[in-house]
């Protein structure tokens, strides 16, 4: 009884603090029940993610616990019928505490941080690839006119289970003149390769100029690999001119041996679709390229966007180009967007060529007293592959059409989607199809119920007004998401 | 058993009296200048909307949010971009081309998003003059802006606007074609 009284007193004390409006609690619980239509002993399972942030004055404490039983990734190749037991995953995926007062910040735990544009250092979660590139450690920051960050951290080694690699460094930035800001970064990476640690020292400088309608950013970085003459450099620059109805700009990149052993960087790729130069090599190894874009607003309701980029390696064996043209129109409750997208990659060394083109559209209009959204795209993929039986290269192609319709009936959101993979029209009946239905309903304030049935190919999905990255899936899924 | 019941009740009670204040933050705007929460408060309600350049529903919401800003001068609309540093240029170009009356901030490292458990965009918060969160909503579909306006008007002690169709006597059975009842 005494313990209960003490606990009650403690809770009331916390409540009293809360009544002073200085204690805040924000959290999110995402619970899922999943039934996969696959011959899998784990085809019926639960997933839960519970995270919260507690704040009191300048102090902040956050935790996130995720149980994925099992864990499926966004990668298509992970759609196995029978999962290995190591795919079960549960544990604390995020844990941190920080204190901020005025311009000072001290942080310990899971760190998400960027130096400059991300060329030198970025600790982050890649939602698109469902990979976690975050480090854990300590960070100090001073953020006023002078901005300084310093961190010391570790992260699991990709070379050896149970071992850790190190990343530590600092970044500073200062507006030396009113339109000109200069910055510098220094980073050291200790990466376990084989049985010993390899050390990389990276130093970078950057400049940002903002004057009237002109904005220019430029960054240069040099990588000194310890006990190796194979060092690297990275240059990235972009410029933007923003006039009233017209904007245009460009970007340039040049990366030479600047791909880290671990993914603690996020190199700007200087193209609209964030495509790598080649699927066969990591970004930053050997590439140079440029990008140009322009946006025109006209007739009050229209906007035209044009973007073109090219990239190549030093031998000119690898080449790629990337293009986008889009037209937006919006008037009252009517919206329309049509676009054309093109990505082409060539590898002369392996005689590989691939081209993807996809026109797409998004429409929003009122119908039957409700707001309806329609979207679709028709992707054509062409590539050259080596036929091992005939021992010669052949051009092959396939089509990936996609269509989605959404409507809100009061608080109930409904979405119908269909996607396909056709080799050609003669294989229409034998092709792959994905069809799905999703319904969302806010059962309480801050609590949404989401029901999904059908199959989807995975990737980035915007449905019922929300965008997220999903894994390939076939079956039923019931989600209850509570925000508090 | 009694102990557990008391414990649960006290926890629930404590949960209800936790403040729902917007956490303090300092985020850079499109010029790189830091903007903190205190810079945005005091004038009137604030709509804080998390978005990303790849998010079509986010872009769909923007004209409606801009209309609210134009209609209510003391309303502040803040757009917080979740885009990675390498795609922030694209996000800036998109916003500059639209001439919206927003305060634009960038949260690439999810400093504020993590404190609010914002995972998927768009996610919208409405704050009162003192920074208390009075409403939050995940996602956007046309029609949601009416709920935002209702919440904002409530903060000013104003009643919900009468349905324009009702004013012209065009409602059937007292129901507004845009939702809600006539005579509010």
CA gap B110, B124 in Å, rounded: 15
Q: Is residue B54 part of a domain?
A: yes
For residue A311, the model assigns a pLDDT of 97
Q: Is residue B173 part of a domain?
A: no
Q: Is residue B109 part of a domain?
A: yes
Nearest-Cα distance to chain A for B74, in Å, is: 23
Which of these, A461, A483, A484, A481, lies nearest to A471 by C-alpha position?
A: A461
Q: Across-strand partners of B123?
A: B50, B138
Place of tokens 């690439």: B108
Task: For chain B, say whether A369 makes contact (Cβ under 8 Å).
Answer: yes
For residue A73, the model assigns a pLDDT of 62
Chain A hits for B143, CB-CB cut-off 8 Å, are: 371, 408
State the count of interchain CB pairs (< 8 A) between A and B.
Answer: 179
Q: What CATH number corresponds to the domain at position B138?
A: 3.40.30.10
Which residues, other chains included, contact A214 with Cβ-Cβ below 8 Å and sequence gap of 6+? A239, A240, A241
**Average pLDDT value for residue range B32-55:** 93
What are the phi and psi torsion angles at A135 (to 5°)?
Answer: -100, 165
For residue A197, the model assigns a pLDDT of 87
**Option in B21, B57, B97 nearest A297 (CB):** B97
Q: Is residue B7 part of a domain?
A: no
Place of tokens 């935002």: B148
**Average pLDDT value for residue range B48-60:** 94
DSSP of B32-69: S-EEEHHHH-SSS-EEEEEE-TT-HHHHHHHHHHHHHH
Task: For chain B, say whether A32 makes contact (Cβ under 8 Å).
Answer: no
Q: Taking CB atoms and an 8 Å limit, are B117 and A52 in contact across chains?
A: yes
Which of these, A340, A324, A345, lies nearest to A276 by C-alpha position?
A: A345
> What pLDDT band is residue B4 in, cutting at 50, 70 and 90?
low
Q: Tell me A257's DSSP state.
A: S
For residue A167, the model assigns a pLDDT of 95
For residue B184, the model assigns a pLDDT of 43
**Average pLDDT value for residue range B155-171:** 66
Question: DSSP 3-state assignment of B149?
Answer: helix
Q: Is residue B40 part of a domain?
A: yes
DSSP of A173-225: EE-SSSSEEEEEEEEEEEEEETTEEEEEEEEEEEEEEEETTEEEEEEEEEEEE
Interface of A with B in 67-86 (CB under 8 A): none
Q: Which of A466, A468, A469, A484 to mutate to test the interface with B (most CBs of B within 10 A)?
A: A466
Question: Quick count: other Cβ atoms within 10 Å of Cβ A431?
Answer: 14
Q: Across-strand partners of A356?
A: A343, A381
Task: For chain B, say whether A289 makes contact (Cβ under 8 Å).
Answer: no
Question: DSSP 3-state assignment of A276?
Answer: coil
For residue A106, the model assigns a pLDDT of 95
Question: Quick count: other Cβ atoms within 10 Å of Cβ B37?
Answer: 19
Task: For chain B, say whether A300 makes contact (Cβ under 8 Å).
Answer: no
User: What are the tens digits of pLDDT across the range B84-95?
Assistant: 999 998 899 888
Q: Is residue B12 part of a domain?
A: no
CA distances from B17 to A6, A24, A483, B81 (A): 19, 10, 16, 31
User: What are the tens digits of pLDDT across the range A348-372?
Assistant: 888 889 999 999 999 999 888 888 9
Q: Across-strand partners of A359?
A: A340
For residue A445, the model assigns a pLDDT of 83
Task: For chain B, say whether A28 makes contact (Cβ under 8 Å).
Answer: yes
For residue A8, the model assigns a pLDDT of 57
List, edge to edge, every strand of the sheet that includes B123-127: B103-106, B76-81, B46-51, B123-127, B133-138
Which of these, B82, B111, B32, lies nearest to A206 by C-alpha position?
A: B32
DSSP of A298-355: ETTTEEEEEEEEEEE-TTS-EEEEEEEEEEEEEETTEEEEEEEEEEEEEETTTTEEEE
Percent of chain B with pLDDT over 90: 54
Task: For chain B, say whether A58 makes contact (Cβ under 8 Å).
Answer: yes
Q: Across-strand partners of B46?
A: B76, B127
Give CA angle at A468 (A463, A474), nearest 5°.
75
Chain A hits for B32, CB-CB cut-off 8 Å, are: 181, 208, 210
Domain ranges of chain A: 26-100, 102-228, 351-484
For residue B16, the model assigns a pLDDT of 46
Place of tokens 């009884």: A1
- Interface ipTM: 0.89
Please give the tally of structural domains in chain B: 1
Output the six-digit token pair for B52.
């990303």
Tell me how many helices (H) and strands (E) chain A has. 1, 29
Tell whether the torsion through CA atoms of A115, A306, A379 and A276 is positive or negative. Answer: negative
Tell whether the torsion through CA atoms of A436, A447, B143 and B71 is positive or negative. Answer: negative
Strands (E), A76-116: 89-101, 104-111, 113-115
State the pairing for strand pair A131-133/A121-126: antiparallel
For residue A469, the model assigns a pLDDT of 86
Q: Which domain holds residue B111?
A: 17-167
Q: Is residue B93 part of a domain?
A: yes
Segment (H or E) for A244:
none
CA gap A446, A432 in Å, rounded: 38
Q: Which residues of chain A have pLDDT under 50?
A: 18-19, 76-78
Q: Is residue B118 part of a domain?
A: yes
State the pairing for strand pair B46-51/B76-81: parallel
Residue B156 has pLDDT above 60, yes or no: yes
Q: 0.90 exceeded by the pTM? A: no
For residue A396, the model assigns a pLDDT of 86
For residue B59, the model assigns a pLDDT of 93
Task: For chain B, say whether A265 makes contact (Cβ under 8 Å).
Answer: no
Chain B hits for A181, CB-CB cut-off 8 Å, are: 32
């Amino acid at each position: 009884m005494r313990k209960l009284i003490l606990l009650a007193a403690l809770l009331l004390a916390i409540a009293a603090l809360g009544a002073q409006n200085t204690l805040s609690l924000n959290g999110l619980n995402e619970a899922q029940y999943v039934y996969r239509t696959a011959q899998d002993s784990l085809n019926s399972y639960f997933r839960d993610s519970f995270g919260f942030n507690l704040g009191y004055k300048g102090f902040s404490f956050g935790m996130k616990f995720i149980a994925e039983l099992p864990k499926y990734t966004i990668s298509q190749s992970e759609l196995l019928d029978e999962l290995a037991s190591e795919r079960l995953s549960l544990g604390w995926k995020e844990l941190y505490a920080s204190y901020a007062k005025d311009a000072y910040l001290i942080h310990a735990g899971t760190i998400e941080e960027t130096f400059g544009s991300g060329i030198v250092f970025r600790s982050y979660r890649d939602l698109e690839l469902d990979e976690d590139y975050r480090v854990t450690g300590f960070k100090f920051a001073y953020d006023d006119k002078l901005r300084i960050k310093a961190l010391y951290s570790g992260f699991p080694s990709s070379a050896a289970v149970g071992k850790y690699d190190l990343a530590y460094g600092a970044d500073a930035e200062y507006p030396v003149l009113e339109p000109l800001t200069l910055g510098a970064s220094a980073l050291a990476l200790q990466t376990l390769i084989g049985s010993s640690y390899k050390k990389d020292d990276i130093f970078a400088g950057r400049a940002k100029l903002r004057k009237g309608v002109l904005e220019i950013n430029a960054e240069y970085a040099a990588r000194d690999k310890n006990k190796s003459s194979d060092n690297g450099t990275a240059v990235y620059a972009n410029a933007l001119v923003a006039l009233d109805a017209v904007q245009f700009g460009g970007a340039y990149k040049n990366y030479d041996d600047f791909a880290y052993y671990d993914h603690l960087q996020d190199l700007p790729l200087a193209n609209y679709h964030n495509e790598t130069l080649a699927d066969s090599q990591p970004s930053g190894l050997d590439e140079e390229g440029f990008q140009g874009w322009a946006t025109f607003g006209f007739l009050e309701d229209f906007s035209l966007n044009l973007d073109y980029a090219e990239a190549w390696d030093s031998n000119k064996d690898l080449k790629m180009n990337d293009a986008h043209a889009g037209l937006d129109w919006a008037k009252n409750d009517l919206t329309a967007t049509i676009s054309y997208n093109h990505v082409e990659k060539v590898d002369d060394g392996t005689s590989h060529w691939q081209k993807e083109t996809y026109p797409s559209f998004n429409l929003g209009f009122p119908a039957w007293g409700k707001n309806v959204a329609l979207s679709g795209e028709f992707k054509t993929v062409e590539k050259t592959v080596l036929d091992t039986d005939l021992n010669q290269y052949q051009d092959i192609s396939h089509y990936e059409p996609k269509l989605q319709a959404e409507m809100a009936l009061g608080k109930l959101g409904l979405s119908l989607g269909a996607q396909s993979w056709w080799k050609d029209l003669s294989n229409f009946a034998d092709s792959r199809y994905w069809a799905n239905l999703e319904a969302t309903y806010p059962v309480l304030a801050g609590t949404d119920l989401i029901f999904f049935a059908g199959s989807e190919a995975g990737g980035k999905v915007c449905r019922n007004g929300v965008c997220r990255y999903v894994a390939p899936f076939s079956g039923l899924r019931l989600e209850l998401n509570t925000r508090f | 058993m009694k102990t557990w019941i008391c414990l649960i009740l006290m926890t629930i009670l404590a949960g209800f009296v936790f403040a729902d204040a917007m956490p303090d933050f300092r985020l850079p705007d499109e010029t790189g200048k830091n903007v903190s929460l205190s810079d945005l408060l005091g004038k009137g309600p604030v709509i804080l909307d998390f978005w990303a350049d790849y998010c079509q529903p986010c872009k769909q919401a923007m004209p409606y949010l801009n209309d609210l800003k134009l209609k209510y001068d003391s309303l502040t609309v803040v757009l917080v971009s979740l885009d990675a540093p390498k795609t922030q240029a694209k996000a800036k170009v998109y916003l500059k081309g639209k001439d919206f009356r927003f305060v634009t901030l960038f949260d690439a490292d999810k400093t504020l998003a993590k404190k609010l458990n914002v995972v998927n965009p768009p996610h919208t918060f409405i704050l009162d003059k003192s920074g208390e969160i009075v409403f939050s909503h995940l996602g956007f579909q046309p029609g949601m802006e009416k709920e935002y306006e209702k919440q904002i008007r409530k903060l000013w002690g104003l009643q919900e606007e009468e349905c324009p169709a009702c004013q012209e006597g065009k409602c059937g059975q007292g129901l507004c074609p845009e939702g809600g009842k006539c005579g509010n």
